[in-house]
Amino acid sequence: MRDVPFARRPITINPVNSPTPGQCGDCGARHIGLCDALTDEDLGFLARVAQRVVISAGKTFIDEGTTANHFYDITQGDVRVFKSLADGRRQITGFMGVGHFIGLAVSGQYAFSAEAITDVKLCRFDRGPLLEVFAEFPALERKLLDVATHEMVIAQEQMLLLGRKTAIERVSSFLISWSERSDPYPDGTSKTSTVNLSLPMSRTDLADYLGLTTETVSRSFSQLKRDGLISFTDVHEVTLLKPQRVAALTAGEQ
Amino acid sequence: MRDVPFARRPITINPVNSPTPGQCGDCGARHIGLCDALTDEDLGFLARVAQRVVISAGKTFIDEGTTANHFYDITQGDVRVFKSLADGRRQITGFMGVGHFIGLAVSGQYAFSAEAITDVKLCRFDRGPLLEVFAEFPALERKLLDVATHEMVIAQEQMLLLGRKTAIERVSSFLISWSERSDPYPDGTSKTSTVNLSLPMSRTDLADYLGLTTETVSRSFSQLKRDGLISFTDVHEVTLLKPQRVAALTAGEQ
DNA sequence: AGCCGTCGTTGATCTCAATCAACGGCCGCA
DNA sequence: TGCGGCCGTTGATTGAGATCAACGACGGCT
């Protein structure tokens, strides 16, 4: 692992689809993704190694085991990240939304696959040039470390879920964490009112995320409905009628 | 998240137990842990914010939910990192050995606990001063990012195990990954000879790591013994008699 | 040396979630 | 408008691993 010199050096500029800093200003992920670590001024350097990419729902854009040539920042839509076994068993390790950064890899290969759940827009960075930008802007590397650390916390939480929670606890935990994802005030006023959530992923996705089968996910939802804790307006639109009682079912970490 | 200025500034020096660079040279983790990112010369700066700590087997030295005041580098022994539920259920998220770095945290609190499996020696860094050292040596931050990225890969692998593998696959996967941990040539000559492993952790630890019960771990080991794939000289000393056949049972990732 | 507590193994039984099966609703398409 | 495939739900049955139980080996202690 050789050091990258600190002095500025010429950066490969890809003229195709390169967003200008101005375009970045319009970006949905401008103030939540990687880009939040830079000023509008410095963002230009990042923009020069970026390309906008559109992926339609269901398409794979990262394949486990292939060479890791790119980093991605999601600017629109939702993505599932997963690993598979040879016989087809699949474990979704995370659902990623706007602002999420994907593509950290060791030994040059992706250790996971990624697919668009909805239609997705991505900001794609070429690995080599981006690493050079990192060398110039340590703030980016720090941001990336924050991202990685946060992902690690989520991953540990998920291991606890997969290793030790019951079906109903898993589904409840998912509902609560999914509601917190879009909640601007995480541990603000304790949730007494109802919460509306949209679930872009399929029941199969949920099952593969929670280490269950679709049938068990469905039965758990039905039980929560029967107990008056949630209701569905549509298969992909759930309302938490009693968020606190759902939270109580997650076997909340001490 | 305010920026840490780049210019060198005075660093708090703790005169108690501070290892000198010379002492670092003797350290078992000198060339594998965080310290590997620095030259002997620069290591002095790191050493000034470090303390040597000894933890006896079974003792907890990081408590989930407490303020994250320290980073740790393991210089001797093995550690279990875990999360617990209020009712006592426990998920071990990793076994950490010499050279492993522990303590990355978000929002200032540890999201996990850590206990010594064997007697353990640690190099402890105070958080504040260490962050200042990071600002001076970006190589450290990069190293940390590498560490975090690698941990993430392991965590995803473990989620696949916990969510989708059978008991025998989990135990086999553990044996193989544990054998690779100390293997200096990971994908070198395919393992045809036998491999001796020492398992410092208890069956309960293994169960809590693999999302099983001690009974199931024990039964899986017994089955592997019955099939002539492994043998035990002692409860904590296993020999892989047919490493390739054990590997075949892990449902190897494609 | 003898005692006690912990740890690991094995057997018997139980249970939660998986599997197998059927069906209704929805959507895209002819 | 009718058809076919996919998705989600619900019911019946099965099964892998948990739970309950017993016991032997070991190690620390007096």
DSSP letter for each residue of A33-98: SGGGGS-HHHHHHHHTTEEEEEE-TT-EEE-TTSB--EEEEEEES-EEEEEEBTTS-EEEEEEE-T
Q: Region B42-63: what's the mean pLDDT?
A: 89
Judged against a pLDDT cut of 80, whether residue B112 lies above it is answered with yes
- CA A178 to CA A182: how far, in whole Å? 7
Nearest residue of B to residue A103 by CA position? Answer: B149
Kindly report, residue by residue over B180-198, the tens digit of the pLDDT. Answer: 987 666 555 557 799 999 9
| Range B166-248 classified under CATH 3.40.50.2300 | no
* Residue contact A84–B156, C-beta within 8 A: no
- Give chain A's mean pLDDT: 87
Q: Residues A208, A220: contact at Cβ < 8 Å?
A: no
Residues of A within 8 A of B105 (CB-CB) are 149, 153
Q: How far is residue B8's CA from residue B113's CA, in Å, rounded to a whole number?
A: 34
Q: With contacts defined as CB-CB under 8 Å, which chain B residues touch A101?
A: none
* A157 Cβ under 8 Å from any chain B Cβ: yes
| Chain B stretch 199-218, residues whose beta carbon is closer than 8 A to a beta carbon of chain A | 208, 210-211
| Model pLDDT, residue B13 | 36
Query: Cα–Cα distance between B132 and B144 in angstroms, integer?
Result: 14
- Please identify among residues 50-69 of chain A the ones whose CB lies closer than 8 Å to any CB of chain B: 64-65
Decide if A152 and B148 are in contact by the 8 Å CB cutoff: yes
pLDDT value for A162: 98
Q: Is the pLDDT of residue B150 over 90?
A: yes
CATH says A21-157 is which class? mainly beta
Distance A162 CA to C8 C1' (A): 25
- Segment A188-229, tens digit of pLDDT: 555 779 999 999 999 999 999 999 999 999 999 999 999 999
A144 burial (CB, 10 Å; 0-12 / 13-18 / 19+) is buried
* pLDDT band (50, 70, 90) for residue B5: very low
Q: Shortest CB distance from B93 goes to which of A105, A156, A253?
A: A156
Q: Is the pLDDT of residue B235 over 90?
A: yes
Distances (CA, A) of A246 to A213, A250, B9, B47: 21, 7, 50, 48
Neighbours of B124 (CB within 10 A): 18
pLDDT above 70: residue B1: no
Residue A8, pLDDT > 50, answer: no
Chains A & B: contacts with CB separation below 8 Å: 149
Average pLDDT, chain B: 87
Q: Give span(s): CATH 2.60.120.10, chain A.
A: 21-157
- Say yes or no for a CB contact (<8 Å) between A141 and B139: no
Contact (CB<8Å) A91/B164: yes
Q: For residue A100, how many other CB atoms are within 10 A of its CB?
A: 21
The pLDDT score that the predictor gives to residue B138 is 84
pLDDT digit string, tens, across residues A16-46: 444 555 567 777 778 777 778 878 877 777 7
Chain B window 80-99: which residues touch A at a Cβ cutoff of 8 Å?
A: 83-87, 89-91, 93
pLDDT of residue A142: 87
How far is residue B79's CA from residue B76's CA, in Å, rounded to a whole number?
10
Closest CA–CA distance from residue B168 to any residue of chain A (Å): 15
Structure tokens at B86: 């209020």
* Sequence ranges of chain A with CATH classification 1.10.10.10: 166-248
Query: Which residue type sits at B219?
Result: R
Could you tell me the distance in Å between the CA of residue A107 and the C1' of nucleotide C23? Answer: 49
Per-residue model confidence as pLDDT tens digits over A113-134: 999 999 999 999 999 888 888 8
**CA(B213)–C1'(D21) in Å?**
15
For the residues B94-121, what does the mean pLDDT come to? 94
Q: Do B153 and A251 touch (CB under 8 A)?
A: no
> In this predicted structure, what is the pLDDT of residue B53?
94
What is the average pLDDT across B92-106? 94
Checking if the pLDDT of B11 tops 60, the result is no
